[in-house]
Amino acid sequence: MRPESLNFLSCSVFRPELSRIVATHFPGAAVSYLDSALHMNPSLLGKGLKRLVERARDRRQRLVLVYGDCCPYLQQVLEDPRLGRTRSANCAQLLLGGEAYRHFARQGSFFLLPEWASRWRQIIATLMDMDEETTREMFRDAFHRLLYLDTGVQPVPRATLKTCSEHFGIPWTVHPVSLENMTRALFSAIPSW
């Protein structure tokens, strides 16, 4: 498949990593980003996703979705027969690799991706439409720790992680991840149409 026929659609969280990977391995491919702040408004996020998917379809581009872990709108996009064929890739799956991701998920980790850490508390509270105390209780019940994925692209926001950890009463840890996992996963996600 010619790179110029591909359009990678990604959360802006991965702008540095994905820009480098596409420039190196898929020169000529298009890359579109949606600001991760849109997670705070599910309605706008859904509209933005559909608009970018439809634009790629109109340009006869094959779309590779590289997006977050908790977006129901991805499934809607993938199931919409009008939008043509797409491939999706889970952000944590891309960075951690399959087995590590499943291991940490089974251990009750809540994943914090780069750039989300500074605002994830507000994002979650808005998406769940719950007051802070209810959100605290839900997180204490559901998760054993916060797991920050350190790509090495920017400094780990330790002060923010500490604040969030204290807010929810659950510990946090940092897990270094390799961007090579992301490159391999993107290659495997590219369909052979």
In this structure, are 17 and 70 located in the same domain?
yes
DSSP string, 109-176: EEEE-TTTTTTHHHHHHHHHT--HHHHHHHHHHH-SEEEEEE-SSS---HHHHHHHHHHHT--EEEEE
pLDDT of the residue at 52: 85
This prediction's pTM? 0.75
Q: Are residues 170 and 184 in the same domain?
A: no
Are residues 18 and 76 part of one domain?
yes
Same-domain pairing of 49 and 119: no
Note whether 61 and 123 are same-domain residues. Answer: no
14 in the same domain as 72: yes
Domain hosting 127: range is 95-176
Q: How many domains does the chain have?
A: 2
Same domain, 50 and 27: yes
Neighbours of 49 (CB within 10 A): 21
Do residue 99 and residue 43 come from a single domain? no
Residue 11 in contact with residue 95, Cβ under 8 Å?
no
Give the per-residue pLDDT at 151.
85
> Do 37 and 132 lie in a common domain?
no
Question: Is there a single domain that holds both residue 68 and residue 148?
Answer: no
pLDDT in tens, the chain (193 residues): 677 789 998 887 788 889 999 999 999 999 988 876 555 566 777 778 888 888 888 888 888 888 776 566 777 777 888 777 788 888 888 888 888 889 998 999 988 887 666 666 666 666 556 677 777 787 788 889 999 999 887 888 888 888 888 888 899 999 998 888 888 888 887 866 5
Check whether residue 104 and residue 171 sit in a common domain: yes
User: What is the C-alpha separation between 73 and 157, in angstroms, rounded?
Assistant: 29
CATH code of the domain in which 58 resides = 3.40.50.510
Assess whether 29 and 82 both reside in one domain.
yes
pLDDT given at position 175:
93
What's the confidence (pLDDT) of residue 176? 93
